[in-house]
Amino acid sequence: MNEQSQDERARIGDAIDRLLAGKPTRSDGSLTVVALAIEADVHRMALQKRHADLEEAFYARVRAETPEVEKRLRKDVAQLKASLKTVRDSEAEAWSRAEQLVLAAAVLTRRHGTQGPPAALPDNVVPMPGLEH
């Protein structure tokens, strides 16, 4: 093993300890390989290719040392994200229905709200079946 590789391994080991202690100096402190590479000042691909054993050791320590409360909170966050997606999908559907109702109201208003002969439709409007003038 060359000197550069030994230096990288030492930096990665120190970075693992800092991240697990919650005292990052260079990264955002997240327990990911990206944060580990930033914390160790090592290119992520170098970490994953040349030092895959340290990456595996890092994740093993994360699993072993992450408190149960944090694990539960991470699970809760995942459930909340799924709920938020459901709510956003429902909101998008509600907006679509609202647009349809506004268009239907406009057509009905135009059909029943005019006095005298019906106005000619613009060229870019296609009459709905059953609602023609």
Please state, in angstroms and rounded to a whole number, the distance separating the CA atoms of residues 77 and 2.
43
Structure confidence at residue 116 (pLDDT): 57
Please state, in angstroms and rounded to a whole number, the distance separating the CA atoms of residues 11 and 80.
36
Structure confidence at residue 122 (pLDDT): 77
Global pTM value:
0.53
Structure confidence at residue 115 (pLDDT): 58
Per-position pLDDT tens, the chain of length 133: 688 889 999 999 999 999 988 899 999 988 899 999 999 999 999 999 999 999 999 999 988 887 777 778 888 999 999 999 999 999 999 999 999 999 988 888 777 655 556 667 778 877 777 655 4
Contacts of 111 (CB under 8 A, 6+ apart): 118, 131, 133
- Quote the Cα angle for 78-44-67, to 5°: 40
Structure confidence at residue 130 (pLDDT): 66
Helix (H, G, I), strand (E, B) or coil at 81: helix
Helix (H, G, I), strand (E, B) or coil at 44: helix
Structure confidence at residue 124 (pLDDT): 80
Report the chain's terminal Cα–Cα distance, integer Å. Answer: 85
Structure confidence at residue 123 (pLDDT): 80
